[in-house]
Chain A
Amino acid sequence: MKCEEVRERLLDFLDGEVAPVERAGIQAHLAACPACARELAEVRGVCQQVGNALQAVATAVAPPPGAWARLQGRLRAPAPRLARGPALGAALLSRWGWRAALATVALAFLVGVSLSAFYPGGLIALAQEGVARLIRIVRIPLPTQVADTGQVRIPLPAEGQDLPRVEDLATLDEAEREVAFPISVPGYVPDGLALAGVKVQGPNSVRLVYVGDRPILRLDLVQTRGAREPLLELGVAEPAPGLPIATRMVGGTEVLAVLNPGLAESEGVPEEDLPVTLVVWERDGSVFHMLVSAWRPGLPLREALKIVESVR
């Protein structure tokens, strides 16, 4: 057999899918041809690497614990009725009334306008730049009081502030029974944060409240019905006291960054090289929070500032 013929059949040879006569021919060729023998070793090596990597990943992952509870909630909900074309609009109008339909259209318009206004270049451009986890957070005055439970430090709502108290929150399961849509939770939140509970704000909206010790004390996320994933998140984030905060001017705007020196390998690291946990900046009356630790732990301040500049 020629080298070319043998190499075309190497995978089948490894899979044991060649006839005995052909197998003998391939083996004879491989015994006499070091180049093809090396090729066989390389193919076998790739198969082995792929098998090891895929099986290691498969072994390391498992469904989240609340998966069945979520599914149960959805099974109880009536199956969606699919309609097409004008029938869909008519169904919506008859079911919700024209006011609700108009409000929905207006809300969609407002969300669209606000998102495109906040992200020049459009959402797709933003995502392609790799800043897909940027979160817009509407400015809410940070609480001034903090309750220390011994385990977690929970910011208390300031006077007149419409923030739910942690003790008033429902569990995820309880909340899912109260609303008519599946509640999504982030796949990952910054270190130290845990879901304290859910505030049901109405049949179409929930607020997920996360509390922690450090570096962030509390983070609220709002999910509304209709979004497969929370597209617009509203909340408040407060860094733990004691962490260094760096301020920089980027394009005429003050940027505040919460640093986390604990992630750095040694002391004496320049501030620009210190890992960032949270970056906050203001524009057009809104505050932008970028939870760096949620997507790239250890990202140094100088890199985080480049991202801030790129999305202005």
Chain B
Amino acid sequence: MDLIQRCQAGDQEAFAALFRQYANLVYKTAYLLLGDAQAAEDALQEVFLKVYRSLGTFEPEKGAFTTWLRRVTVNYCLNTRRRRGFRLFSWEDRSAQALPDALGRAVSPEELALDREEAEAVWAAVRRLSLPLRAALVLRYGENLSYQEIAQVLDVPLGTAKWRVHQALEELRKQLQRPSEARVPKQAKAEQEEVSP
């Protein structure tokens, strides 16, 4: 009996193991969608409550558990944003305004300012996207899912999933206003002469 089946059978230890195994996935997806540590933690709690109460409806033959879990997470995030356009009196983490502090520690001090500035600009632009477009973009570039998997998570046709990713990138290009070569990343510059992907 696998972990999911044990959870479905009411095994509490199995559910704890399920949480340990997938809490990261849910939290990171929610963080990328909501851009806020407190909201991501709320999402983590609510999504696992939902999983606890409705795991019985999960049917393995219809798709992977991670796809189902991501769908629950994305749906929660979409709905919570609809319910609450903004937050009042919440002590949000500073990462609501900027990138997490942990980001950038891995790069050298010389590169930190430039890289961080660029990453901040991209992150801010991502946060300005509508949530459906952001969800598609996050699944594609934050979680490296295929278009087919994105379509399954978002429960939309394949063409819609692709359109959302493309539209999100197009909006990002406009927001980032990158007409000059000066803002093209080094690697892309070096590859400019090459024409094959």
Taking Cβ atoms with an 8 Å cutoff, the residues of A that contact B are: 11, 13-17, 27, 30-31, 37-38, 40-64, 67-68, 70-71, 74-75, 79, 123, 126-128, 132-135, 182, 186-189, 228-233, 294-297
A27 contacts across to B, CB distance below 8 A:
195-196
CA distance A189 to B90 in the complex (A): 11
The reply to whether B52 and A54 form a contact with Cβ atoms under 8 Å apart is: no
Question: Quick check: which of B1-9, B65-73, B119-127 contacts chain A, the rest being far away?
Answer: B119-127
Would B89 and A230 count as touching, CB distance under 8 A? yes
Q: How far does the alpha carbon of A241 sit from the alpha carbon of B38 in the complex, in Å?
A: 32
Contact B103 A187 (CB under 8 A): no
Question: Is B99 in the interface zone, CB < 8 Å from A?
Answer: yes
Given contacts A17-B147, A49-B118, list 11 more A-B pairs with CB under 8 A: A11-B169, A41-B189, A48-B187, A50-B137, A50-B172, A70-B45, A75-B52, A128-B86, A133-B90, A134-B89, A295-B92
Asked whether A61 lies within 8 Å of B185 as measured between CB atoms, the reply is: no
Find chain B residues with CB under 8 A from A54 CB.
Answer: 32, 126, 137-138, 141-142
Contact A47 B169 (CB under 8 A): yes
* CB contact under 8 A between A61 and B49, given known A30-B195, A37-B192, A37-B195: no
How many angstroms between the C-alpha atoms of A108 and B63 in the bound complex?
Answer: 46
User: Known: A132-B90, A187-B37, A187-B38. Is A79-B53 also a contact (CB below 8 A)?
Assistant: yes
Residue B58 CB within 8 A of the other chain: no
Contact between chains at B32 and A58 (CB < 8 Å)? yes
Work out how many contacts link A and B, with CB atoms closer than 8 A: 190
In the bound complex, residues from chain A placing their C-beta under 8 Å from that of B197 are 13-14, 16, 44
Q: List residues of chain B with CB within 8 A of the CB of A230.
A: 89
Residues of chain A with a CB closer than 8 A to B193's CB: 37
- Chain B interface, >50% SS class: helix
Pick the 9 closest A-B CB pairs, nearest first: A186-B91, A54-B142, A30-B195, A45-B188, A60-B102, A53-B122, A187-B38, A187-B93, A60-B100
Look across to chain B and name the residue whose beta carbon is closest to the beta carbon of A228: B42
Tell me the nearest residue of chain A to B42, going by C-beta. Answer: A228
B38 touches A42 (CB 8 A): no
Complex: how many Å from CA A255 to CA B37?
Answer: 32
Q: Mark B89-113, 1 if CB is under 8 A from A, else 0.
A: 1111111110111111000000000
Interface class of chain A by DSSP: helix
Complex Cα gap A59–B27 (Å): 11
Least CB distance from B31 to A in Å reads 5
> B17-39: which residues lie under 8 A (CB-CB) from chain A?
19-20, 23-24, 27-28, 31-32, 36-38
Contact yes or no, A67 B195, CB < 8 A: no
| Closest A residue by C-beta to B185 | A45
**B74-93 CB contact bits vs A (8 Å, 1 = yes)?**
00000000000011111111
B169: contacting residue among A50, A74, A294, CB under 8 A: A50
A16, A49, A127, A188 — most chain B CB neighbours (10 Å): A49
Question: How many Å lie between the Cα of A64 and that of B147 in the bound state?
Answer: 31
What chain A residues lie within 8 Å of B128 (beta carbons)? none
Q: CA–CA, A43 to B168, complex, Å?
A: 12
- Please tell me if the beta carbons of B31 and A61 are within 8 angstroms of each other in the complex: yes
Q: Which residue of B lies closest to A67 (CB)?
A: B44
B61 beta carbon closer than 8 Å to chain A: no
24 contacts between A and B (CB under 8 A): A41-B184, A46-B172, A48-B185, A49-B185, A50-B126, A52-B119, A52-B122, A53-B123, A54-B126, A54-B138, A58-B143, A60-B99, A60-B103, A61-B37, A67-B23, A123-B88, A134-B89, A186-B90, A187-B41, A188-B92, A188-B93, A188-B94, A228-B42, A297-B94
Known contacts A43-B173, A70-B45; decide if A61 and B95 are in contact (CB<8 Å): yes
A59: B residues at CB distance < 8 A: 103
- Asked if B155 is an interface residue, CB under 8 A from chain A, the answer is no
Contact present for B173 and A42 (CB under 8 Å) = yes
B residues near A52, Cβ cutoff 8 Å: 119, 122
Q: Are A62 and B24 in contact (CB under 8 A)?
A: yes
- In the complex, what residues of A have CB within 8 A of residue B195's CB? 27, 30-31, 37, 40
Measured between beta carbons, the chain B residues less than 8 angstroms from A30 are 195
Interface string of B163-197 (1 = CB under 8 A from A): 00110010011001010010111011101110111
